[in-house]
Amino acid sequence: MVEEKEKAPDFLLMGSDGKKHALGEFKGKYLVLYFYPRDDTPGCTSEAKCFTGSREEIRKLGADVVGISKDSAESHEKFRSKYGLNFLLLSELDSKTIKAYDSYGDRGIFGKGTLRNTFIISGDGKIMKIFRKVKPNGHDREVIEFLKSVK
């Protein structure tokens, strides 16, 4: 199980922008890396829209937001376009990264799948904070409050 203060697992994943992205790209700033079950579903849409509305405030605190799910890069781009999302979504079809971040497991009546977890990663690649079993509405505010506390 990944823990706070440990080195964050690396990844190389296809983005909604059609490019591959790795953890190292975010070196020198905080990364809000959040895992979510599926594009264009009620909870996932709500969470993404909250992060979109708060992205500028998050950026002013020295962080960027990236979402990861098992959806394809094409699905991600449709999701971004439909709701005006203003941050990168990464596609993780084989669940390797999702599992490396302990974000795959039992989702109750929905069966096994991606869990709604968020990781705040420091500029040197260490996990600073883990939010598990996130409630979509208002989670962006929890992230902002944490970022303010470490500034």
pLDDT digits (tens, 9 = 90+) for 30-67: 999 999 999 999 999 999 999 999 999 999 999 999 99
How far apart are the C-alpha atoms of 76 and 80, rounded to whole Å? 6
pTM for the predicted model, two decimal places: 0.95
Domain 12-16+25-150, CATH class in plain words: alpha beta
pLDDT-based confidence at residue 108 (cuts at 50, 70, 90): confident
CB neighbour class for 41 (10 Å; exposed up to 12, middle 13-18, buried from 19): middle
Catalytic residue among 13, 32, 44, 143: 44
pLDDT of residue 9: 97
Asked if residue 87 has pLDDT above 90, the reply is yes
| 44 classed as catalytic | yes
Angstrom distances, CA of residue 139 to CA of 28, 39, 70, 74: 24, 17, 21, 26
Q: Please state the domain extents for the chain.
A: 12-16+25-150
